[in-house]
Amino acid sequence: MNTLLLGVGNILLQDEGVGVRVVEEFQRRYLIPEGLDVLDGGTSGIDLLHHIANREHLIIVDAVKTGDPPGTVIRLGGDKVPAFFRQKITPHQLGISDVLAVATLRDEHPKNIVLIGIVPLTMETGLELSTAIAAKLDTLIDRVLEELEARGLAPEPIANGDAAA
């Protein structure tokens, strides 16, 4: 397996950083199995190309704008993901769209792409997630686990829930 779990977002804009916060928490709670890479993509944009190129599976976690109420969790797969990122919520999403387009042009597009997203409550300046979105971290991590398990990856919980090595 060649799977990347990619959290993206701007942690300086509260809920906009939820993708990064999910991968941080995931790494605190679980041992990363062989075949899985976990990456805080932040707002890296095109710099992510070499990380996503030729992946079997790419799972992206991000804040999403859908018109649904804040805290709504969505899952998109396949061709719907690049199309979704063309409707950017913030500038980093344009970067994801560009990365996927360049990967396709170079014939390095990930074979399977899934987006796990959550509608943010606020994107005001601040380092912490809003209480409403922070309360959904477990739900988002559960969705990530479901996607990984469907791909034959089973991360083991860390006994004390802290990955300090």
Place of tokens 């912490």: 128
Interatomic CA distance for residues 48 and 5, integer angstroms: 12
Question: Which range has the worst mean pLDDT, 12-26, 83-97, 109-123?
Answer: 83-97
The answer for residues whose C-beta is within 8 angstroms of residue 9's C-beta and 6 or more apart is 16, 17, 18, 19, 20, 21, 42, 43, 62, 63, 90, 92
The superfamily CATH assigns to domain 3-154 is HybD-like (3.40.50.1450)
* Contact (Cβ atoms closer than 8 angstroms) between residue 161 and residue 29: yes
pLDDT tens string 119-134:
999 999 999 999 999 9
Cβ neighbours of 159 (radius 10 Å): 7
pLDDT tens string 29-76:
999 999 999 999 988 878 899 999 999 999 999 999 888 999 999 999
What pLDDT band is residue 93 in, cutting at 50, 70 and 90?
Answer: low
* Contact (Cβ atoms closer than 8 angstroms) between residue 82 and residue 113: yes
